[in-house]
Structure 1
Amino acid sequence: MHNQQLLSQYVAALESSALCARLDAHGRVVFISESLQKQLHTDAAVIGTRFTQFIEPSNRDQLTDRINYAIEFKQSWNGIVRLVSATTTDKDSGAWFKCLTIPLFENEQLSEIVLLLQDISREVYLDELLNETRFDAVTGLATRVDLLNDLKKARAQCLAILDIRKFRSFVDFYGLEFGDQLLRAFSNWSAQYLSESRLNIYRLYGDKFAIAADFRMIPNLFEVHLQQYYDALAKAQFTVDGGDVEIDIALGMGVGRKKLIQLAESALAKAKKVFSGYQIECVKERDFSHSHQINWMPKIQAALDNDNFVNYYQPIKSSNGQHVDYYEALVRLRDGKNDLPPGLFLDKAKTTRYYSQITRSVVQQAMVQSERHQVAISVNVSIEDILNPQTVEFILTTLDQHPAAQLIFEITETESTEDFSAVEEFAQQVRQRGAKIAIDDFGVGYSNFSRLIQLHPDYLKIDGSIIKNILEDKSNASILNGMISICRELNIPMVAEFVENEAINGYLTQQQIEYLQGYYIGRPAPHISQWLN
């Protein structure tokens, strides 16, 4: 009798504090705890009704079958269930529970079913958030979250990062939905192709993706698989919005035990600078560490103090003539016997006061050479230069001091949109002093044609990514044709960069592109006199 009283108190305590319910053998509610009533927004009036009314409708039959199967074999059922209020029509209402279903038998007959529940709605919500960060909404690929985990799990020693060349141009001309469709088509094809080599592809952001093996693959084998993928992609076509699209990628591979993403990013940056066919750029940890041991700031400061920033000049030729029409000034850092390209130091200088001094050095040298040889020379100016009052004042003063100089200021098109009023004012001021304006890298980024019309540059330089494989890529040709139509309408001469061979030169000449620049026309050289002679 004493044990029976204790047992009754235990049961009462459990029922009052826990999320629980008791059902009869037919699944009707004989007891429901007050805490569970609150969760389900119901009351004791549900006594005698079937508990299945609270199970989320889309899973009701499936869960009922599982529970009945367990009871038939006199077993408990432990699982996850979503319960909703029987009176609501809101599909998003309800909560998730761990549910322990315990059948009670008397004389081998089912007497009652006890349900013990634990609210896990917050855990489910956090899992959903985690899944949203783990998987990309557009492509369905795993994201950087899984990439980091998989690299650690596999103890990876190699990683590739790629992006789609001129992807922004696709979006500019065809729209965001077209871009999303292209990303999905590319992702599906890549995931299927790479899986055969046990490689996984991840979307990092935008048009940037990562490729990693699902085991500790040796670098040589990894590079072989990447090259096969690269070659296959060059022959692939993707059907997007009813049309066939060919794409090209820049691909970089990092090899090392640490900082794999940084190594692969560095390799990708190299691949994007120079198109060298379907070749994979590779950066190894030991090489990366050595190159980054250089402290560039003392080198830059010393070069400024000793006038060791020198201009190289690359010729730009009219397509309907044999003579050079003007030259582009390209900065180099003279380090002993080596003249280092700007890719090594210019980005590092941009965050310091030295950057404006480098710009002034380039402009000063270009003006002197232009005046001395009576030739036109173009120099690159960034939005940082245009927004720097001291740099602008230096340019204007130097133009006044060299009235015979023929300067062309090239403004990067993607940068010029950041503060167009400052760009417009700068253009007006230098034009008053006889200089001209060119828009550089046109066709990449978010081209703003209304601003282009408003600025009306004297030259428009086509982005090199469009020209590099113009003969193999029909979409590049379509983009170029659209740009030609716009420039013809606005009466703006075009300059094509990256003219690397006779075939590209012939094609662009046939298209009547006014000016050509590239290694086929002439490589940069430190003295203009080399070209004049």
Structure 2
Amino acid sequence: MRDQFLLKQYINTLESAALCARLSPNGNIRWMSSSLHKLLDIHYLKQTTAFSAFLHQDNRNDIMDAIKQATDSGEAWNGSLCLNSNSRSNWCRCMAIPLYGTDGHLTELVLLFQDISREMYLDELLHEARFDQVTGLATRIDLLNDLKRVGTQCLAVMDIRKFRSYADYYGLEFGDELLRQFSHWASETLKSKHIKIYRLYSDKFALIPDFRMIPNLFEDHLLSFYQSLLSKKFVIGSSDIALDVAIGMGVGRGKQLQLAESALSKAKVIYSGYKIEVVYEKEFMHENKVNWIPKIQSALTDHRFVNYYQPIKSTKEGQPNYYEALVRLRDDNHDLAPGLFLDKAKATRYYCEITRSVIEQAVLTSEQYQVAISVNLSIEDILNEETVSFIHYVLAEHKKAQLIFEITETESTEDFTKIQSFAKDVRRLGGQIAIDDFGVGYSNFSRLIRLRPDYLKIDGSIVQNVLHDPTSASILNGLISICKELRIPIVAEFVENEDVNTYLCDQQIEYLQGYYIGKPSPEVNRVLN
């Protein structure tokens, strides 16, 4: 008798502490522990309430069928389920234990629950971090883990050329759908080559083999992938989209992602997918052994930052040509391109000094040859009060100089306000403003209308593809129409051959720039001749 009394107390204690319920054979709730009442936020429960009423409707029938199948076989059921309360949903791990009478028939079903809502929430967060929400591809987290697991020396980074142009022209939803279709096609195409694709961010993707593939074979597969892409059209609504990509490949025992990013930077400049740019760890380490800061400091002291000038040709009679100033660092007998040193300089106070050197040389050259010269300015230059004051001083003191300041638009509204203010002051002092690289990045038509630049430079990726990509042609024609209405002359960059030159002339583009027009030279008179 005493043992039965103690057993009853044990049962009551366990039931009050545990999340549990007792069901009738037909699935109605006979009893529910106070802890489960609290979890489900229930204050009153009818004896005829079915347990299934608390199950999430998406898997309600499947859960009840699985429990019935187990009990019919005389077995307990284990699984996870979602219980709906009045205020929230609760994920639980559940054990359903059947109790039978002496006649062998089911008399009661005991359910024991363990609240795993927090675990599920953390799993969801981890899943969101591991998998991209737009494309469904694995992200950088899985990439880094897989790099260690596979132990591969090869990694490639791929960038969709002028992707922002599609998003800006057609809208963000169109851009997301384009990314989804491209990602699905790329994933299926690369799977047969034993290559996995990851989304890094925006329109940038990483590729690695799923075993220790030799670099030459990996490069061959990347070329094959690129050739397949050339014949692929992505259909979105009524639009057929042909995409082009830049691919950079890194090879090494470490820092493969950094190596591939470096290779991608080179690939994006070349505008050709038929050659995969490859950077090897040994070469990269050798190149980056150079301590650029002393070199930059020394070049400023010795006035070894020199301007090259590339002609920008007018297509209309009576309109003068003008020239773009491009900085070089003179090192012994070599003039080094800005890609080698300018990014390093941006992190130092020397960057603004380089900008001032370029402007100073451009002013003197403009006065000497009586030609207009454009100078590139970054948002860092415009936000630098000393640089802006220097520009104001130069324009005020050299009224015969014809300077055009090329600015790349930024995403920041605050930065754009600064650009507007800068443009207003420059025009007041006799200078002009050009918007550079329009058609990619943060291109914004409403801002274009508000700023009303004196020139609009179309991004080279659009010009490069205009003859074989209908979307590039459509974007260009749209820009031509808008700029004619606003009376803003267009400058087309990267005019590399006669066919592109002829096409752009037929479209009545006002200015052309590129190697077909003329290469950069350290002396304007050579360009003029």
Matched-pair contact (CA < 8 Å) for 2:15–2:33 = yes
Tell me what 1:478 maps to. Answer: 474
Tell me what 1:210 maps to. Answer: 206
Matched-pair contact (CA < 8 Å) for 2:310–2:518 = yes
| Correspondence for 1:189 among 154, 171, 185 | 185
Written as runs of structure 1 = structure 2, the 5 A alignment for 1:61-460 is: 61-85=61-85, 88=86, 93-107=88-102, 109=104, 110-320=106-316, 325-414=321-410, 418-460=414-456
State the Cα deviation string for residues 189-211 of structure 1 (Å, max 9, x = none).
21221222222222222222222
Name the amino acid aligned to 1:33: S
SS of structure 1 residue aligned to 2:387: helix
CA shift in 2, pair 1:511/1:393, >3 Å = same
TM-superposed deviation, 1:108: 6.7
TM-score, reference length from structure 2: 0.91
CA shift in 2, pair 1:50/1:253, >3 Å = same
Aligned residues: 528
Q: Aligned equivalents of 1:418 and 1:304: distance in 2?
A: 32
Matched-pair contact (CA < 8 Å) for 1:23–1:30 = yes
TM-superposed deviation, 1:323: 11
Q: Aligned equivalents of 1:94 and 1:497: distance in 2?
A: 57
State the Cα deviation string for residues 160-207 of structure 1 (Å, max 9, x = none).
222221122212221112212211221222122122222222222222
Unaligned runs of 5+ in 2: none
Name the amino acid aligned to 1:95: N
CA shift in 2, pair 1:479/1:53, >3 Å = closer
Q: Aligned equivalents of 1:369 and 1:28: distance in 2?
A: 92
Name the amino acid aligned to 1:404: K
Q: Aligned equivalents of 1:58 and 1:531: distance in 2?
A: 72
CA shift in 2, pair 1:521/1:80, >3 Å = same
Q: Aligned equivalents of 1:510 and 1:112: distance in 2?
A: 86
CA shift in 2, pair 1:260/1:112, >3 Å = same
Tell me what 1:15 maps to. Answer: 15
State the Cα deviation string for residues 379-405 of structure 1 (Å, max 9, x = none).
112232233232223223334444433
Name the amino acid aligned to 1:179: G
TM-superposed deviation, 1:241: 2.0
Name the amino acid aligned to 1:380: N
SS of structure 1 residue aligned to 2:22: strand
TM-superposed deviation, 1:50: 4.5
Q: Aligned equivalents of 1:256 and 1:312: distance in 2?
A: 36
SS of structure 1 residue aligned to 2:59: helix
TM-superposed deviation, 1:357: 0.7
Q: Aligned equivalents of 1:114 and 1:487: distance in 2?
A: 75
Name the amino acid aligned to 2:432: K
Matched-pair contact (CA < 8 Å) for 2:168–2:444 = no
Q: Aligned equivalents of 1:57 and 1:425: distance in 2?
A: 58
Name the amino acid aligned to 2:465: N
Written as runs of structure 1 = structure 2, the 5 A alignment for 1:498-509 is: 498-509=494-505
TM-score, reference length from structure 1: 0.91
Matched-pair contact (CA < 8 Å) for 1:254–1:267 = yes
- Identity fraction in percent: 60
Tell me what 2:39 maps to. Answer: 39
Name the amino acid aligned to 1:238: F
CA-atom RMSD, angstroms?
A: 2.7
Q: Which stretch of structure 1 is more off in the superposition, 473-482 or 366-375?
A: 366-375
CA shift in 2, pair 1:307/1:76, >3 Å = same
TM-superposed deviation, 1:512: 1.9
